[in-house]
Amino acid sequence: MPSAPKWVFDVFDRLLSSKSSSMVVSKVEYLSNTVKRIQFKGNIKKLNFGVGSFIDFRVSDTEARRYTVSYVNAAGGILELIAHLHGEAPGSSFMGNLSVGDKVNINPPRPYKYYDPSAERYIIFGDETSLGLACSFLPVLLKNRHPFHFYLELAEENKNIASLLQLENCTVFTKNGSFGNEKWLNDLPIVQSPEWQQSNFILTGNAKSVRAFRKVLKARNQGKIISHGYWLEGKKGL
Ligand SMILES: Cc1cc2nc3c(=O)[nH]c(=O)nc-3n(C[C@H](O)[C@H](O)[C@H](O)COP(=O)(O)OP(=O)(O)OC[C@H]3O[C@@H](n4cnc5c(N)ncnc54)[C@H](O)[C@@H]3O)c2cc1C
């Protein structure tokens, strides 16, 4: 529910108050002009986290937006996310305005079944909004020795963020609409390669790219496809 009257969100806040945590922004870091990593500190021992868990932040009286937990250290009370600042929309402005010392109410993270330990290989696709998911996946992929590859479509100014985040096995594409082009997608080595056709594909980010990629993969690949559009042009929240 991205938008609702103030009283509705007030009721939700009251209902969730025993389960949520009050945290303080302990660090902010601009990975580029439009990508910001934000660290929160507080007691999160009662919260449960999994790969790709996301949090619904109340970003104004009447708006809530989803952000992925990119890193968590429950014992140390540290949680991080990576926000794409794409303009003056409520989520982007809220994340853009957060600075060290700000207090934020953190709702319980919501799980999503992106990770299946029994799957052998993983292809993880997304854009700036998926950087948190990639960071959340990386340790478990390495620990459990899955062959994996990240495919990211990023704006020119964000192209070196994958190496800043030490995302291994990562191919970065310029965000220019190619991932909406089924013919171009079909020619990608990862789609053509028999080796990768049994992979689990996790498709997130721009819903238009996700839809086109899914369609192409469904026609050729035998692996499982998990698609979760994170934003759609012209639509508020998702
Ligand atoms: C499960 C889940 C996890 C997510 N995790 C993250 C995360 O970790 N980091 C993150 O940055 N985002 C994440 N997102 C995406 C984020 O919630 C959306 O981008 C959201 O729309 C941002 O809210 P907003 O108020 O800034 O823009 P909105 O008010 O929702 O949108 C206004 C307009 O801006 C445009 N728009 C929205 N998002 C983008 C964008 N990223 N780039 C360009 N144009 C955009 C659309 O045209 C839209 O109509 C996640 C979404 C989901 C569903």
For the record, the structure tokens of 145 come out as 């020795």
* Mean of the per-residue pLDDT values of the chain: 95
0.75 cut: is pTM over it? yes
Summarised one tens digit per residue, pLDDT across range 134-161 is: 999 999 999 999 999 999 999 999 999 9
Measured from the Cβ of residue 189, the count of other Cβ atoms closer than 10 Å reads 10
Check if 100 has its Cβ closer than 6 Å to any atom of ligand 1.
no
Atom number in ligand 1 closest to CA 70: 8
Instruction: List strands edge to edge, sheet with 63-73.
Output: 54-60, 63-73, 78-84, 35-41, 21-30, 103-106
Domains of the chain with bracketed CATH: 6-106 (2.40.30.10), 122-231 (3.40.50.80)
Check if 136 has its Cβ closer than 6 Å to any atom of ligand 1.
no
- Residue-level pLDDT at 33: 97
Atom number in ligand 1 closest to CA 90: 25
Summarised one tens digit per residue, pLDDT across range 24-45 is: 999 999 999 999 999 999 999 8
Summarised one tens digit per residue, pLDDT across range 191-225 is: 888 888 889 999 999 999 999 999 999 988 778 99
